[in-house]
Amino acid sequence: MKHTNFTKAFREGYSFKPQILDAGSDSITFSVHNIGNLVLTSGKLIACDPLLISPSSEGNEPFFTVCLLPNSYPILLSVATYNPLSKLPACAMLQVSSQVPVKWEVALRLGDDLEKGIYAYGVDSGTGCFMDADTLQALIALVNPENIKNEARQSLATILEVEERFEQEFGNRLVQEQDKNYANTGFDWTNLLVSSSTGANVITFRSGLGDGVYASYWGYDEADKVVCLVTDFMLFDEDSQIVSELPA
């Protein structure tokens, strides 16, 4: 399995010339942006499309099988600039330490199966995110404190009311904040506070070109310790110069 050399993708100012480029420029340059610290209260990290979360599903998004220590972790966004008017997030990183990764491994979530090719999350809103498993439950509780544990016991009207309220109080707010940041930076992202008491938050970003299925990778240092997790939005294929020579 080959995958992007994420070390280069997070090197400020790194530039390369892909074999095929139809963006009004002969090269692509990376810029790296710290878009806030993600608070992990449980250490169970979730990467998903935040606008696909549904309160009626009880927020059953799978978290990664490798858990981190509860802490606050910087989120870095690698943005590929094709020309001054075209910027797309290429990768999103949760940084555990400043050590340089020397090995990458696919990050599996509960229920994933590498042999069957199930190890990535689907995006249908053009948006990806990182959050803690506790934060997901806090989001659901914002609009439905008791949860909808058994839809059969709820009327359709009640379910639709909760879904609409969730969209207004979370989905719409998220989109509005992303639009504000786009106006200032030229790319979509937001750092959305969910709980003022715990500091729990959701950090979101545009998923490259938009909808698709995106995998994440753990980066390890020479001591075999986790130094980061990166979600790759697959802007570049194996013909590009940032493809890793690292073994699978």
Mean pLDDT within 84-98: 91
Which range scores top for mean pLDDT: 78-82, 91-95, 135-139, 244-248?
91-95
Q: Is the pLDDT of residue 189 over 90?
A: yes
pLDDT at residue number 248: 34
Alpha-carbon distance of 21 to 173, in angstroms, equals 35
Q: How confident is the model at residue 203 (pLDDT cuts 50, 70, 90)?
A: very high
Q: Is the pLDDT of residue 83 over 90?
A: no
Least confident of 6-20, 143-157, 219-233: 143-157
pLDDT at residue number 215: 94
What sign has the CA pseudo-torsion 218, 237, 204, 180? positive
Q: What DSSP line would sit under 144-190, residue for residue?
A: -TT--S-GGGS-HHHHHHHHHHHIIIIIHHHHHHHHHHHHHHSS-EE
Mean pLDDT within 79-87: 82
pLDDT at residue number 247: 33
Give whole-number Cα distances, 152 to 5, 54, 87, 155, 175, in Å. 48, 16, 46, 8, 31
Alpha-carbon distance of 147 to 57, in angstroms, equals 9
Instruction: For residue 51, give the DSSP letter.
Output: G
Q: Is the pLDDT of residue 8 over 50?
A: yes
pLDDT at residue number 246: 32
pLDDT at residue number 170: 87
Q: Is the pLDDT of residue 241 over 50?
A: no
Q: Is the pLDDT of residue 245 over 50?
A: no
Least confident of 17-31, 152-166, 195-209: 152-166
pLDDT at residue number 152: 46
Summarised one tens digit per residue, pLDDT across range 25-63 is: 568 889 999 999 999 999 999 999 998 887 766 667 899
Q: How confident is the model at residue 160 (pLDDT cuts 50, 70, 90)?
A: low
Q: Counting runs of H as helices and runs of E as strands, what totals does the chain give?
A: 4, 12
